[in-house]
Amino acid sequence: MQFALDDFGTGYSSLTRLKQLPIDELKIDQSFVRDITTNANSRAIASSVITLSAAMGINVVAEGVETQAHRRALKDMGCQLYQGYLFSRPIGADALVEMLRSRRWSAAM
């Protein structure tokens, strides 16, 4: 069984949870990703989460990746997993299977 901590950095998802729970994956909240290319504080928070996750052996996923600039900035910080409209709008299971079969998703990467 694996555990992911969603919306990391907001609400109840705090550093204390990283110490208390067997977390396998953190998701950086989209509120930090949204302005990562224009706001130094958001950039610093995202970079810190990515660095901390790597040091703890935890995978990190960036939520709300909508532009290539977002993806490049996150990649430069060491993030390797992304989700957001850059790759696809929310879709149903059948559409996902078709998308994966046709490899349409690879064009965005």
DSSP states of 58-79? -EEEES---SHHHHHHHHHHT-
Q: Which domains does the chain have, with CATH numbers?
A: 4-108 (3.20.20.450)
> What's this model's pTM, rounded to 2 decimal places?
0.78
Instruction: For CA atoms 29, 34, 36, 39, give the dihedral sign.
Output: negative
Residue found by looking up tokens 């998308």 in the block: 99
- pLDDT tens, 1-59? 676 767 676 666 667 777 778 888 888 989 999 999 999 999 999 999 999 999 989 99
State yes or no: is 63 an active-site residue: yes
Is the separation of the CB atoms in 42 and 36 below 8 Å? yes
Short-list 40, 39, 31, 36, CA closest to 10: 31
- From the list 25, 63, 66, 98, the catalytic residue is 63
The yes-or-no verdict on residue 107 having pLDDT over 50 is no
- pLDDT tens, 74-106? 999 999 999 999 988 888 999 888 888 887 655
The yes-or-no verdict on residue 71 having pLDDT over 50 is yes
